[in-house]
Amino acid sequence: MKSLSPAELQSLLTTDVDIVDVREPDEWSTGHVPGARLVPLGLLRADPLGALPRDKVVFVCAKGGRSAQASAVAEGVGRATVYSLNGGTDAWRAAGLPIVVPGPTTTRATTATESAPESAPEPGLDAVVGDNLKRERAARGWSLDELAREAGISRTLLGQIELGRATPSIGVVWKIAAALGVHFATLLSQPAPRIGTTLSKRESAKKLTSADGRVTSRALFPPGDAGAAEFYELWLAPHSREDAEAHRPGTRENLIVASGRLELKIGSETLQLHKGDAVNFAADQPHSYVNLGSEECWLYLVMNYATR
């Protein structure tokens, strides 16, 4: 493990390095290093392989102590290049380097006939996923251990998600949904009255993020309105990739590239799509979204589940 100065880390920000902040959510909310993603040290220890998908990683905490512990965990699971920020975010701030303050994580829905009062915001994504997971697991009479075996996810991580203390990555939500035999959106939606027209503002959207922080997914249908078809917006950072496991039998995806270019891998087939290109394919097989370019890629995706 090598210790980096703030200046040395700044020079790495534009490279293919995974910056992982191992502080707690309340510390993270005060500001973080640009490009960092939050993985509290406890969650990292519970599922290091799932939390660290890339070999080159820089750990950041408040002063440097927890970063050293995280580095030992990463080296223990074979990560090839491990760094920590000497002095943590305190040193980064003291050097006068930019700090990113996370925006709100809740979505306020506005209808044509009713506005939600300012004193009653919707629950955050952590709470929504946690409540849905707990409900679906209880309906099957499964213990956390049983679901952990079915989904291939650690019991500790599942417990943290149920308690609303961890935001799962896109891949983790897919694994949980597949294990429970439910739609992806079932874990993201909350009951909502079907009243008039619902407007969801981009700036207050609830988004799921990949484990490396380079892919995001935003549901474009109202909470509680998931059905046989679901509509999503996906963003891929330059040189990023998101692998999706096979969805339920009969599931199809229809997507269009809005900007950038996309390499779509469907089983053994590879397609190259540019802005305006669209494709419909069977999604009940492993598939991957890959952005090989130096520009961001935006795409819109409709998922159609087979009706029973």
pLDDT digits (tens, 9 = 90+) for 26-81: 788 788 888 888 888 887 887 788 788 778 899 999 998 999 999 999 998 888 89
- Spell out a b/e string for 26-42, using b for 16 or more CB atoms within 10 Å of the CB, else e: ebbeeebbebbbbbbbe
- Range with top average pLDDT, 133-142, 157-166, 169-178, 196-205: 133-142
How many degrees, rounded to 5, is the angle at CA 38 between CA 283 and CA 165?
85
**What pLDDT does 203 receive?**
67
pLDDT digit string, tens, across residues 271-300: 999 999 999 999 999 999 999 988 999 999
The model's pLDDT over 151-179, given as tens digits with 9 standing for 90+, comes to 888 888 888 888 877 777 777 888 898 89
What pLDDT was estimated at residue 155? 84
Domains and CATH numbers, the chain: 2-94 (3.40.250.10), 104-199 (1.10.260.40), 228-308 (2.60.120.10)
What is the DSSP track for the chain?
-EEE-HHHHHHHTTSS-EEEE-S-HHHHTT-B-TT-EE--HHHHHH-HHHH--SSEEEEE-SSSHHHHHHHHHHHHTT-SEEEEETTHHHHHHHTT---BPP------EEESS-B--TT-PPPPHHHHHHHHHHHHHHHHT--HHHHHHHHT--HHHHHHHHTT-----HHHHHHHHHHHT--GGGGT-------S-EEE-GGG--EEE-TTSSEEEEE-S-TT---SEEEEEEEE-TTEEEEE---STT-EEEEEEEESEEEEEETTEEEEEETT-EEEEE-SS-EEEEE-SSS-EEEEEEEEPPP-
Is the model more confident about 118 or about 75?
Answer: 75
Q: Using CA atoms, how far apart are residues 217 and 236, in angstroms rounded to an integer?
A: 9
Across the range 215-229, mean pLDDT stands at 72
What does the radius of gyration of the chain's CA atoms come to, in whole angstroms?
A: 20
Query: How much is the mean pLDDT over the chain?
Result: 82
Give just the sign of the alpha carbon dihedral 178, 135, 152, 166: positive
CA atoms within 13 A on the CB side of 21: 25
Q: For position 224, what pLDDT does the model report?
A: 55
User: Over the range 68-81, which residues count as b (16 or more CB within 10 Å of their CB) and which as e?
Assistant: ebbbebbeeeebee
pLDDT at 124: 65
Q: Residue 257: pLDDT band by 50, 70, 90 thresholds? A: very high
Q: Which distant-in-sequence residues (6+ apart) come within 8 Å of 307 by Cβ?
A: 228
What mean pLDDT is predicted for residues 261-270? 95
What the block records as the tokens of 271 is 């397609």
Residue 112 has a pLDDT of 33
Alpha-carbon distance 224 to 229, whole Å? Answer: 13
Task: Give 111's pLDDT tier (boundaries 50, 70, 90).
Answer: very low
More confident residue, 74 or 117: 74
